[in-house]
Amino acid sequence: MYSHSTNNNGVNMSKIIYKKRGSFCFEDEGTTYRCATMEEALEAGGVEEKVAVSGVPYKVDSSDVEVGTKDE
C-alpha cells in the first residue's frame, strides 16, 4: 500500500487501526505501530475507520457498528 493512499473520505488508509493478535496496529510511512489498547493507538496517531451505513447521511466509527445475529 502506498503511503499516500486514501479512501473516499480523504483518510490516509495506512493509519487505519486494525486488530492483530491482540494488539491494535496501524501503519504510517512504512512503519507498523502496535499498541495494547485502542486508546493508545488513537493517541499514537492512528484513526478509526469510518463506515457509511446505507440510507444514513452520516458516518460512524467501525467499532460502534453492531452486527446482529441470525436470530435478530
Domain residue limits, the chain = 1-55
**pLDDT confidence tier of residue 62, bands split at 50, 70 and 90:** low
| Cβ atoms of 40 and 66 closer than 8 Å | no
Q: Is the pLDDT of residue 3 over 50?
A: no
> How does pLDDT run across 15-53, given as a tens digit for each residue?
899 999 999 999 988 888 999 999 999 888 888 887 766
Q: Given the C-alpha cell 494488539, which residue does it identify?
A: 23
What is the C-alpha separation between 65 and 55, in angstroms, rounded?
15
